[in-house]
Amino acid sequence: MSSVAKVVETADAAGGLEVRPMTGNEAIARGAWEAGVRLASAYPGTPSTEILENLALYPREDLHAQWSTNEKVALDVAIGASYCGVRALTAAKHVGLNVAADALLSQAYIGVHGGLVLAICDDPGIHSSQTEQDTRLYARLATVPVLEPADAQEALEYTRLAFDLSEEFDTPVIVRSTTRLSHTRAPVRVGPRQEVPPKPFREEPERNVIMPSLSRRQRPRIIAREKNLEAWFSASALTRREMRSAKIGVITVGMAYVYVKEVLPEASVLKLPSSYPLARDAIREFCASVERVFVVEELEAIVETEVRAMGIDAHGKQFFTRIGELSAENVREGFVAAGILAARPAMPPAPFTPLVRPPVLCAGCPHIGSYHGLRGDDARVTGDIGCYTLAALKPLAAMDTCVSMGSSIGNAVGMSLSRAERKPIVATIGDSTFLHGGIPALIDAVYNQANITVLLLDNRTVAMTGGQDHPGTGKTLRGDKTHKVDYEAICRAAGVSWIKRIDSYDLAVGHQTLREAMEYDGVAVVISDRPCVLDPVKIKGTPFRVRAEACTACQSCMNLGCPAITWSDELFEGRHKVQIDQSLCIGCSMCVQVCPTDGLACGAIEAGA
Ligand SMILES: Cc1ncc(C[n+]2csc(CCOP(=O)(O)OP(=O)(O)O)c2C)c(N)n1
């Protein structure tokens, strides 16, 4: 029995009173399980990844949990389960919802059969994302309700509730988390699982098949649904009026509530469970009972704009930032600027400046070899999203552009067909990203007769998000063996006839092969193949060391950007030489290959600790 299954059993025995420390993501997974979810799907993405990883720890008999090839597929899979009358959840990071948005907007019209919940995690402050986005805007665009928990307990409860609301109001429901909530651990009271038997498929194409006639019919229903949800939120105990000072009233939602409580404990607070649809009656009533109204919400002025549109003189983004995360500090500063709190004496400056540590590829990362091969050629290199995006930074500096997941190949096609670029064009894309969004672009490249090279970086994992499996690894989310995608066959089926596979660590062959590919007239694919050094097997060969007497300090090895390679602390014959950190080096040999002092075999760098 898995540890989670044991906990589930204990909770059941204790009547659901057990309290456990849980991250927001664990709590969302738990809430879905307690709600009787039968299918969960996702494509990984920080900060949402652990929702599916945790759901996969619950018994197989309870639910099917899977990685999908991308977020749209994941949502479509969940929609399929909902059509079959079971409760289904999909999880994604905020930008993942961009990919899935088309299906979401359609499903908002179609409605649900089994409850359909989207757990979407925003990343205010852009800790690990392409952009800063507020998913609440999508909720409004799609006219689907969004629930915004303020802590891990609410993450569990709101997720459980989201399934009930979904079925009651015939709509997909978004549960919106943020990095801070998803990754923070707090005590959570857990309960038992509610078994929800599947409902039979409704054979009603006039309801299940989207087309203009359906959408025209549904549009008034959606507007009515919005009104009904507004009334539900206004009447709900989740819309919490905490009446204290009659002078200041703060309307708040999500984690912002926690900061307001800390900074301004004497203020009256209206805590909203949702920014859309808005509990307007509750807001009107609350605002009438206080002299000054503030709205504190993270990222966009969504509630504030609506409150002001209701004719209420409310203040928000004028004092509380629209950029990055809110915190107790910046919420306090906002109330100071608004004249509500007195300024605190300035903190003395820190006695030291923290060291800036730029992100680097791992020691022995196979992407180093792949991009090293490109540096020597005067090529225009489009990049994509993954660990390898770091190859844009010095010293590799081997990537010219990067837009969004799967863009590299389409961007390269545009460059090629613009006929404005004279350099050979190389699209570089990771294995998971290729499966996510690269394949349609590869078909486009062949179809439109572009002249490009595609460098497919197969490290056999989704390294960027912590080493998840995908269809190219031959293993499912639960670790079962499954069919392994054959990239060469996919490329051939797309019409690519020039395909070569290289070992990412073999720098000379890699370089030569890329040159040949760039000389080829048409679409050439080079598959650079080596497993990630961190996953699934932790690879560690014999580390190399530098013979200081032979090292000329030429820096060829340093240009790889391997973090195991630094200048020596001591001087040798009056000079710093290169040194290799034995605890980091995995013995990949790429530095040996570029060391010019004694060829490849036994130069200034040699094997041995
Ligand atoms: C639309 C979207 N979905 C998910 C992510 C999270 N994410 C960033 S890179 C990446 C995939 C990386 O895998 P791969 O292409 O194999 O490259 P690797 O990191 O293994 O080098 C994912 C899932 C994202 N940034 N954007």
Ligand 1 pocket check for 54: Cβ under 6 Å: no
Among 322, 337, 352, the domain-final residue is 337
Quote the Cα angle for 183-189-192, to 5°: 110
Give me ligand 1 centre to Cα 50, in Å: 15
Take atom 15 of ligand 1 and give the residue whose Cα is closest.
430
How many Å lie between the centroid of ligand 1 and the Cα of residue 375?
A: 23
Q: What is the CATH number of the domain that holds 212?
A: 3.40.50.970
Backbone dihedral region for residue 400 (phi beyond 0: left; psi -120 to 50: alpha; all else: beta): alpha
Report how many domains make up the chain: 4
Residues 164 and 217 in one domain: yes
Measured by CA distance, the residue closest to atom 4 of ligand 1 is 45
Residues 61 and 187 in one domain: yes
Is the preceding omega at residue 192 within 30 degrees of 0, hence cis? no
Q: Kindly state whether residue 344 falls inside one of the protein's structural domains.
A: no
Separation of 609 CA from ligand 1 center, angstroms? 35
Pocket of ligand 1 contains residue 406 by CB under 6 Å: no
Contact 142, 114 (CB under 8 A): no
Task: Kindly report which listed range (244-253, 399-408, 532-541) carries the lowest average pLDDT score.
Answer: 532-541
Distance CA 187, CA 181 (A): 13
Find out whether the beta carbon of 386 lies less than 6 Å from any atom of ligand 1.
Answer: yes
Q: What is the pLDDT of residue 518?
A: 98
In whole angstroms, what is the distance from residue 253 CA to residue 239 CA?
Answer: 10
Domain boundary (185, 214, 231) is at: 231
Higher-confidence residue of 5 and 190: namely 190
Q: Is any ligand 1 atom within 6 A of the Cβ of residue 528?
A: no
Closest-lying ligand 1 atom to the alpha carbon of residue 432: 16
Determine if ligand 1 sits within 6 Å of the CB of residue 99.
yes
The DSSP bridge partners found for residue 187 are 21
What is the per-residue pLDDT for 606? Answer: 63
Whether 229 and 275 have beta carbons less than 8 Å apart is answered as no
Mean of per-residue pLDDT scores for the chain: 94
Structural domain includes residue 349: no
Which residues, at least 6 apart from 524, have a Cβ–Cβ distance to it below 8 Å? 452, 453, 454, 496, 498, 499, 500, 516, 517, 518
Element (H, E) at 502: strand 498-503
How far apart (Å, rounded) are the C-alpha atoms in residues 13 and 37?
21
Calpha distance 412→428 (Å, rounded): 9
In a domain, 291, yes or no: yes
Section 525-530 average pLDDT: 97
Atom of ligand 1 nearest to the CA of 437: 1
Task: Please name every residue paired with 250 in a beta bridge, in sequence order, or none if there are none.
Answer: 269, 294
- CA–centroid distance, 123 to ligand 1, in Å, is 15
Residue 431 Cβ inside 6 Å of ligand 1? The answer reads yes
pLDDT 10s digits, 379-394: 999 999 999 999 999 9
Same domain flag for 207 and 260: no
- pLDDT of 350: 84
The predicted model gives 151-165 an average pLDDT of 98
Question: Can you tell me the distance from the alpha carbon of 272 to that of 139, in angstroms, rounded to the nearest whole number?
Answer: 15
Q: Is 462 found in the same domain as 424?
A: yes
What is the tens place of the pLDDT at every residue in 162-180? 999 999 999 999 999 999 9
Q: How far is the CA of 478 from the centre of ligand 1 (A)?
A: 20
Same domain, yes or no: 79 and 155 = yes
Question: Are residues 206 and 311 located together in one domain of the fold?
Answer: no
User: What is the band of 359 on the pLDDT scale with cuts at 50, 70, 90?
Assistant: confident
Tell me what the mean pLDDT of segment 1-16 comes to: 46
Q: How many CB atoms lie within 10 A of CB 249?
A: 26
pLDDT in tens, 591-604: 999 999 863 333 45
For 430, phi then psi, to 5°, come to -75, 165
For 142, residues 6+ apart whose C-beta sits below 8 A from its C-beta are 101, 104, 105, 108, 172
Mean pLDDT of 59-69: 98
Does some domain include residue 538? no
Cross-sheet strand order for the sheet of 240-242 = 240-242, 267-272, 245-253, 292-296, 314-315
Cα–ligand 1 centroid distance for 432 (angstroms): 7
- Assign 263 a pLDDT band (cuts: 50, 70, 90): very high
351 inside domain? no
pLDDT, tens digit (0-9, with 9 covering 90-100), for 293-346:
999 999 999 999 999 999 999 999 999 999 999 999 999 999 999 999 999 888
Per 3-state DSSP, what percentage of the chain is helix, strand, and coil (rounded to 5)? 35, 20, 45
pLDDT at 1: 38
My answer on whether 57 and 118 are in the same domain is yes
Residues 224, 244 share a domain: no
Q: Residue 352 falls within a domain, yes or no?
A: no
How confident is the model over 110-128, as a mean pLDDT? Answer: 97
Return the CATH number at 309: 3.40.50.920
User: Which residues span the domain enclosing 556?
Assistant: 544-607
- The pLDDT score that the predictor gives to residue 603 is 44
- Beta strand pairing call for 565-572 and 575-580: antiparallel
Q: Are strands 380-383 and 425-430 parallel, antiparallel or unpaired?
A: parallel
In this prediction, residue 536 has a pLDDT band, given cuts at 50, 70 and 90, of low
In a domain, 361, yes or no: no
Q: Is the CB of 47 under 6 A from ligand 1?
A: no
The pLDDT, as a whole number, for residue 353 is 85
> Which position has the token pair 């912002």?
256
User: Among 61-65, 225-229, 475-479, 568-572, where is mean pLDDT lowest?
Assistant: 568-572
Q: Are residues 160 and 275 in the same domain?
A: no
Name every residue whose Cβ is closer than 8 Å to that of residue 418 and which is 6 or more positions away in sequence: none
- Separation of 561 CA from ligand 1 center, angstroms? 21
Return the CATH number at 563.
3.30.70.20
Q: Please give the backbone phi and psi of residue 40, each rounded to the nearest 5 degrees, phi first.
A: -135, 135
User: Of 231, 259, 290, at which residue does a domain stop?
Assistant: 231
Residue 188 pLDDT greater than 80, yes or no: yes
The yes-or-no verdict on residue 439 having pLDDT over 70 is yes
Residue 226, helix vs strand vs coil: helix
Q: What are phi and psi of 246, to 5 degrees?
A: -85, -5
Instruction: Tell me how far the alpha carbon of residue 267 is from its chain's centroid.
Output: 36
Percent over 70 (pLDDT), the chain: 94
Q: Whose CA is nearest to atom 7 of ligand 1?
A: 45
pLDDT tens digits along 457-476: 999 999 999 999 999 999 99
Q: Is the domain of 206 the same as that of 260?
A: no
Q: How confident is the model at residue 6 (pLDDT cuts 50, 70, 90)?
A: very low
Q: How confident is the model at residue 347 (pLDDT cuts 50, 70, 90)?
A: confident
Residue with token string 């503030």: 294
Give the residue among 154, 163, 160, 199 at the shortest CA–CA distance from 34: 160
Residue 424 lies in a domain: yes
23/126 same-domain check? yes
- Per-residue confidence (pLDDT) for residue 540, from 0 to 100: 77
Whole-number percent of the chain with pLDDT over 90: 87
456 and 568 part of one domain: no
